[in-house]
Chain A
C-alpha cells in the first residue's frame, strides 16, 4: 500500500522515515543473539536472518521445539517474526517469507511447491515472464525440462530453483564478529585503596593491550568501570593523543582520575574497555631517541588533553586561502599530523593576527597618523596596498564590507602594523568615512 492510499484511509496516520543505519544495527544485534541457536548465523537481506542449524535441533527437542522456542522468545522481545525450517537455504528463505513452517526432510518439492515463483529470489522481469506463460507456482516449474527453461528465462532461474531444491549447494556465509576490546575482573573481596585499584588496572591493561596487539589495533579512548559492592558504579575515561597499546603509559594517564574515585564500601568488579580504537601496525618501541621523544610528546598531549579537553590542544595547519583568517587552521593536535608549510609568499605576512580593530582619527590614505588602542601613532613608512578580495563562495560576515586594501605601516613609535581599508563601504554606512582597521602586527 502506498503512503497516499494509507493517508486516504486514515488521515491521522503517524509516519516516520526509515532509519536504515539503526535498522541494520538492530539486525546485527539480533544476529548476535541468534547465536544461541546455531554456530553459523548470517544476515539475509535487510530484514532476515539465516542460521545453519545442522546438528542443533535435538538440543531443543526437535525442529518444531526449536522453532517454537525461537518464536516464543522473539514474541517476548516484542518482535513479530516469521520463521521457517527447511533442508536448503533457498527453501527456508521462500517459506519464511510466505507464512513460515517446517519442511520435512526429503519433501522439499512438496513443501514449497505451493509458493509463488517470486519466492525463489528471481528478479522482477523473470517473475513477470513466468506469469505471462502461466507458470505461477514453484510446483509448475519443478517438472519442466531444465534446458528450455534456462534458454527461455536465463540461467538465474534454474540456479535459484536448484538451490531451493537442494541440487545446488548454498552454504550459510556467517560474517565474522568484530573483536570486542573489553576485559573484566571480579574480585572475591572488595578493595578500596588506590594502589589496589591501580594494580588491578595494570593486570587488566596487560590483557587488553595483548588483545589489541593481536588485532593490530591501538586504543584511542579507554574506559574503566568500577562497580561498588552496593551496586553503584564509578567510571573513569581517558583519551589518548594517538593510538596506543602500551600498558604502562596508559596506566600513568589513569592515575590522576583513579585518585578521585569514591570507592564507597569497596569495589568488587573492574571492567576495562576500549570504546574507540584505530589500526596500529606493529612498530619498534623505545628504540631510537626520536621514537622516545615522539612517545613523550604524545604523553604530554594526552595528559593535557584529558584535563582541558582535546579540542584545546591545537596545531597550526596551512589552508589554501588568501583570506588571512582562513589561511591557516587550528586543528586538534591529537587528530592531525603536522603538514609542511608552503613556501613563503612574496608579500610579508604579520606574525600575530587578531580580529580587525578600527582605528580612529585616521588622516589620509594611507593614514599619516591614527589612534589605535588609545595610543597615537605616526606613520613613518607605508608599504602597499595589497588588495585581497573576499571569497564570494563563502558568506563570511566579516568580509561583507567587500574588498580590502592591506598596508604594512611602520610607525614612528615602533610597532609595525597591518592595516586595511575597505574602499567598497558606502560612505553612509560609516559617517566618519574612516574604514581603517588594524588586523595584525609584524615582527
Chain B
C-alpha cells in the first residue's frame, strides 16, 4: 500500500518518504539547508574519491553532531548504502552524491526504499544527470548580492511530480534555520498550473 503524503505547504520543504534531486553549484548548500530542517540522524553518502568534504566548523548549527559520512568505493556500493540508509527508519535525511546518472530501475528502487523507511532522500547530481524517477529536481546556484551581509541563493524547482515548479531567491546565511525570501519582480516562464 502506498501512503501518499500531503504536498507540503512551504515550497522549500521536501516531501517526506521520497527521493529528490539537486544540481548546480549550490547543491551542497541546499543539502545542508535541508539537513537543518530535518530532525534526527543524517547520512551523507560520499564516494571515497570525492575531495570535497563537509567542514565541521562551517556547518549549520546542530548538523555536525548528527551527521554520518559514509564513503563507499564504487557505484554499486554507493547505491546499496543509499538504499540501506533509506530503508532505516530513524534516519531523517539521506544525502548522496552519485557519479553516474541513475537508471530508471535504480531510481525507482530508491523511491521504494524511501517509502519503506519513511525517510527523505536527496541526491546531489551532476548537471543534466537526473533520473526520471525523482520526485522533485532543484537547480541551485549561489547568487551575487548587492548588500554586504546577504548571501543569496537562487533555487529553481525544475521538475515536480506533485505540484508546480518555480524559482525562489532567498537569503540564507548557512548557519541558522531562518531564511528570508527575496521578492523579485519577474515574468512567468512556465505554464500555469500544469506540473511537468
Contacts and interface: CB of A to CB of B under 8 A. Distances in A.
B185 interface: no
Most chain B CB inside 10 Å of its own CB: which residue of A324, A350, A352? A352
A376 B148 CA distance: 22
Nearest to A355: B51
Interface string B52-94: 1111111111001111111111000100110011001111000
Contact of B67 (A303, A315, A345, A355): A315
A293 B144 contact: no
Contact of A414 (B53, B71, B85, B142): B142
Nearest to B30: A443
A443 B172 contact: yes
Contact of A410 (B89, B91, B144): B144
Contact of A316 (B25, B26, B54, B173): B54
Contact of A412 (B25, B68, B144, B172): B144
Contacts of B56: 316-318, 327-328, 341
Contact of B84 (A297, A303, A414): A303
Interface string A213-229: 00000000000000000
A297 B41 contact: yes
A137 to B, nearest CB: 72
A296 interface: yes
A314 B69 contact: yes
Contacts of A412: 144
A332 to B, nearest CB: 10
Given A441-B28, A443-B29, A301 B68 contact: yes
A315 B63 CA distance: 12
B166 interface: no
Given A296-B89, A441-B28, A349 B57 contact: yes
Interface in A420-443: 440-443
A333 B151 contact: no
B112 interface: no
B135 interface: no
Nearest to A314: B69
B167 interface: no
Interface in A335-376: 338-341, 344-345, 348-355
A314 B32 CA distance: 18
B148 A381 contact: yes
Contact of B69 (A297, A299, A316, A352): A316
B186 to A, nearest CB: 17
A414 B148 contact: no
Contact of A353 (B55, B66, B80, B153): B55
* Contact residues of A: prevailing secondary structure: mixed
A443 B29 CA distance: 5
A351 B64 contact: no
Contacts of B53: 330, 352-354
Nearest to B74: A308
B175 interface: yes
Nearest to A414: B142
Contact of A328 (B25, B55, B71, B175): B55
A344 B55 contact: no
A380 interface: yes
Interface in A307-329: 307-308, 312-318, 324, 327-328
Nearest to A318: B56
Given A344-B175, A416-B151, A327 B70 contact: no
B99 interface: no
A328 to B, nearest CB: 4
Nearest to A380: B144
A415 interface: yes
29 contacts: A293-B89, A296-B90, A297-B90, A300-B91, A304-B85, A308-B72, A312-B70, A315-B67, A316-B69, A327-B56, A328-B57, A330-B53, A341-B65, A344-B57, A344-B61, A344-B175, A345-B57, A351-B29, A351-B58, A352-B52, A352-B55, A414-B25, A414-B26, A414-B142, A414-B143, A414-B154, A416-B142, A441-B52, A443-B172
What are the nearest 5 A-B pairs in CB distance?
A: A443-B174, A328-B56, A349-B58, A293-B90, A353-B55
